[in-house]
């Protein structure tokens, strides 16, 4: 028997244009810190581009939550401006209007339970009008100081347990930094566990959303030429560089409380280490991959922070030249103390105590005001026996190296040795390049697009589990505590525009290695 059309639920506007999604149920995304910089530069453009690609669920709603008083119209206008300024592609009015028509704003304090009660009523009203269950994804894009009250009020207002145990259960996305040491990370995890189940929690590290980071698993486990030599028998060392050309700018006050180790090493760089070195997972399931990452982090031996003798180096940038322009030193930046001991550069030598990597050093470094902006993973293989090509004046040979470029020019390079054309046998190193831009085009999705979509559909593969954050902090915290006790003792300097201090080079010389100089 047919049903009268008058009794059917009204068709939602998204159903006509945005229906090719990855299985997300009806969703409302709530952004805490809606007037912040990350929201404008990354989150709103990501939502727009998901809509452009028909990847938003048919029934999608966006609520901005912040301290700033603002009406729905003003928030929609600010979102439109953000999308047009920062989107990777042109903003089309018809697509944006579908997003804007279901975008609203709620003003309130992060420590005000009443504001969260209003938020719950607002979401309940959306659900009632839709006449279907709706999942809530709470995106915490605020300073870390208000993470706890937001999480606690989500619980107190009944938002954390909405539709618990169903496909429409609430989810919470927490931005970095996740704690500033092991104790604070454990405390934050305890707050989260009181309000949410672990499967509801998505601790974000946007590096995991980058195409080349995701491609690392494919390169390792989908190509039989790499995995058999990805071990101590063939690998001489691994170098991971996360370098920035910019200084701290106007963020000196924030950076004084962070430093390079907390800002980049503990999260981004350690994620690259774990994906590069972990054992093959039993499947591509989220927990299988995250289990192996945690095992790897736990296998890293404790670091010796003693200056000049240990496994860690720290430094600050001094005056120098960037792009031919003179730049100021860190201690002359706005908001930085004259006697600051905050490191703007950190390098570590990691030793992994397992069968695969015994005796293979992993060198990691990150810093500001370095020679150029680049993030890369370089796997340097052992040299062949020097029997046939041992004459240095005739044979220019380099160690075979596989370099995965994470940014800015995403791709992969293999360094090989080749004969120079001619009547005598001479050699030189050559590079084989694969570039995402050349093969797939330049308009690849931004990391936040993938991560927001994954959170909506419940795929936690590219997010960090609670025990993983604690394992990383357990390794790094003793070094930070040792540096705090030393003050400025052992703190090196390096010229802006260089690749860091001499002591970082010495960290490698002890094992007869040297840092790569990433080329353009």
Select which of 268, 433, 512, 513 is catalytic: 268
- Whether residues 43 and 170 share a domain: the answer is yes
Burial class, 390, CB count within 10 angstroms (exposed 0-12 / middle 13-18 / buried 19+): exposed
Tokens of 474: 């357990």
Predicted local confidence at residue 450, as pLDDT: 92
Its domain, for residue 78, covers 12-175
Q: Would you list the DSSP string of 124-181?
A: HHHHHHHTS--EEEEEE-S-GGGHHHHHHHHHHTT-TTTTTTSTT--EEEEPSP--SS
Answer positive or negative: Cα dihedral of 332, 337, 338, 340. negative
- Cα–Cα dist 151/159, whole Å: 10
Res 11: pLDDT: 38
Lowest mean pLDDT among 224-233, 261-270, 435-444: 435-444
Domain membership flag for residue 92: yes
pLDDT at 384: 80
pLDDT of residue 458: 92
**Mean local confidence (pLDDT), 310-315:** 96
Choose among 401, 380, 378, 397: nearest CA to 389.
Answer: 397
Band (pLDDT 50/70/90 cuts) for residue 440 is confident
Question: Do 165 and 219 lie in a common domain?
Answer: no
What is the Cα–Cα distance from 280 to 396, expressed in whole angstroms?
Answer: 36
Residues 166 and 219 in one domain: no
- 180 in a structural domain: no
Q: Given its phi and psi angles, is residue 392 left (phi above 0), alpha (psi -120 to 50 degrees) or beta?
A: alpha
Instruction: Say if residue 312 is in the same domain as residue 425.
Output: yes
| Cα–Cα separations (whole angstroms), residue 347 to 163, 329, 487, 505 | 46, 19, 18, 10
Total of domains in the chain: 2
Co-location of 360 and 265 in the same domain? yes
Residue pair 233/318 in contact by the 8 Å Cβ criterion: no
User: Is 452 inside a domain boundary?
Assistant: no
23-37, 81-95, 293-307, 422-436: lowest mean pLDDT where?
422-436
Q: Is residue 6 part of a domain?
A: no
Asked if 321 and 497 touch (Cβ cutoff 8 Å), the reply is yes
- What pLDDT, on the 0 to 100 scale, is given for residue 443? 72
In a domain, 28, yes or no: yes
For residue 408, name the pLDDT band (cuts at 50, 70, 90).
confident
Look at residue 6 in the predicted model and tell me its pLDDT. 37
Handedness of CA 315, 318, 322, 327 (dihedral sign): positive
256 shares a domain with 324:
yes
Instruction: Answer whether residue 183 is part of any domain.
Output: no
pLDDT in tens, 79-102: 999 999 999 999 999 999 999 999
Are 238 and 334 found together in one domain? Answer: yes
Q: What is the mean pLDDT of the segment spanning 480-500?
A: 95
Mean pLDDT within 296-308: 95
**Mean pLDDT, the chain, whole residue set:** 90
Shared domain check, 155 and 35: yes
pLDDT at 428: 76
Burial letters 264-286, b for 16+ CB under 10 A, else e: bbbbbbbbbbbbbbbeebeeeeb
16 pLDDT more than 60: no
Asked if residue 470 has pLDDT above 60, the reply is yes
Indicate if 169 and 242 belong to the same structural domain.
no
Rounded to 5 degrees, what are φ and ψ at 242?
A: -125, 95
Task: Please check whether residue 195 lies inside any domain of the structure.
Answer: no
% of the chain residues with pLDDT over 70? 93
Least confident of 214-218, 388-392, 438-442: 388-392
Tell me whether strands 312-322 and 345-351 are parallel, antiparallel or unpaired.
Answer: antiparallel
* Annotated catalytic residue 168: no
> Stretch 272-285: mean pLDDT, rounded?
94
- pLDDT over threshold 70, residue 519: no
Residue 53 belongs to domain with CATH number:
3.40.50.720
Same-domain status, 212 and 170: no
pLDDT tens figures, 409-431: 888 999 888 777 877 777 777 88
Q: State both tokens at 209.
A: 């959303």
Instruction: Report the CATH number that the domain containing residue 481 is assigned in CATH.
Output: 3.30.360.10
pLDDT in tens, 149-176: 999 999 999 999 999 989 899 999 999 8
The reported pLDDT for the residue numbered 4 is 38
Q: Which of 151, 175, 199 is the last residue of a domain?
A: 175
Instruction: State the Cα–Cα distance between residues 394 and 421, nearest whole angstrom.
Output: 13
CA distance 48 to 74: 18
CB atoms within 10 A of CB 503: 17
The DSSP string of 392-452 is TTTB-----EEEEEEESS-EEEEEEEEEPSSSS--EEEEEEEEEHHHHH-S-PPPHHHHHH
Nearest to 376 by CA among 240, 254, 196: 240
Run of H or E including 76: helix 72-86
Give dist(CA 236, CA 357) in Å, integer: 10
pLDDT tier, 18 (very low <50, low <70, confident <90, very high otherwise): very low
pTM of the model: 0.90
The answer to which of 67-71, 86-90, 158-162, 393-397 has the lowest mean pLDDT is 393-397
């Amino acid at each position: 028997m047919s049903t009268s059309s008058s009794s059917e639920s009204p068709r939602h506007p998204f159903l006509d244009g945005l229906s090719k999604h990855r299985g997300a149920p009806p969703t409302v995304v709530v952004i805490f810190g809606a007037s912040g910089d990350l929201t404008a530069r990354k989150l709103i453009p990501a939502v727009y581009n998901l809509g452009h690609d028909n990847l938003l669920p048919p029934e999608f709603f966006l609520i901005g939550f912040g301290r700033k008083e603002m009406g729905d119209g003003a928030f929609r206008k600010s979102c439109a401006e953000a999308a047009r300024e920062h989107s990777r592609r042109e903003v089309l009015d018809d697509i944006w209007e579908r997003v804007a028509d279901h975008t609203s704003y709620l003003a309130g304090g992060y420590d005000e339970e009443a504001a969260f009660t209003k938020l719950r009523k607002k979401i309940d009203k959306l659900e009632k009008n839709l006449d279907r269950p709706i999942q809530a994804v709470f995106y915490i894009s605020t300073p870390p100081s208000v993470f706890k009250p937001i999480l606690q009020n989500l619980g107190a207002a009944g938002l954390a347990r909405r539709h618990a145990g169903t496909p429409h259960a609430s989810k919470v996305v927490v931005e970095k930094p996740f704690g500033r040491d092991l104790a604070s990370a454990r405390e934050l995890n305890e707050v989260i566990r009181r309000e949410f189940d672990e499967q509801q929690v998505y601790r974000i590290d946007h590096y995991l959303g980058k195409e080349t980071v995701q491609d690392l698993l494919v390169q390792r486990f989908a190509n039989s030429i790499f995995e058999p030599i990805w071990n101590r028998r063939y690998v001489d060392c691994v170098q991971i560089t996360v370098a920035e050309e910019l200084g701290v700018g106007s963020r000196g006050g924030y950076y004084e409380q962070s430093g390079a180790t907390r800002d980049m090493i503990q999260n981004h760089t350690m994620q690259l280490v774990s994906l590069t070195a972990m054992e093959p997972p039993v499947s591509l399931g989220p927990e299988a991959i995250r289990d192996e990452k945690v095992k790897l982090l736990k296998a890293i031996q404790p670091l010796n922070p003693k200056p000049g003798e240990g496994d860690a180096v720290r430094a600050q940038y001094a005056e120098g030249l960037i792009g031919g322009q003179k730049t100021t030193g860190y201690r002359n930046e706005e908001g930085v103390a004259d006697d600051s001991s905050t490191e703007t550069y950190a390098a570590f030598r990691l030793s992994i105590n397992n069968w695969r990597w015994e005796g293979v050093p992993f060198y990691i470094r990150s810093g500001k005001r370095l020679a150029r902006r680049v993030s890369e993973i370089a796997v340097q293989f052992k040299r062949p026996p020097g029997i046939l090509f041992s004459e240095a004046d005739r044979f220019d040979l380099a160690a075979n190296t596989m370099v995965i470029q994470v940014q800015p020019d995403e791709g992969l390079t293999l360094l090989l040795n080749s004969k120079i054309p001619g009547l005598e046998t001479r050699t030189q190193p050559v590079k084989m390049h694969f570039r995402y831009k050349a093969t797939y085009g330049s308009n690849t999705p931004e990391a936040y697009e993938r991560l927001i979509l994954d959170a909506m559909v419940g795929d936690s593969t590219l997010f960090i589990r609670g025990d993983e954050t604690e394992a990383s902090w357990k390794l790094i915290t003793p070094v930070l505590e040792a540096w705090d006790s030393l003050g400025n003792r052992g703190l090196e300097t390096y010229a802006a525009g260089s690749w860091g201090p001499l002591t970082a080079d010495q960290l490698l010389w002890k094992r007869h290695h040297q840092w790569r100089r990433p080329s353009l």
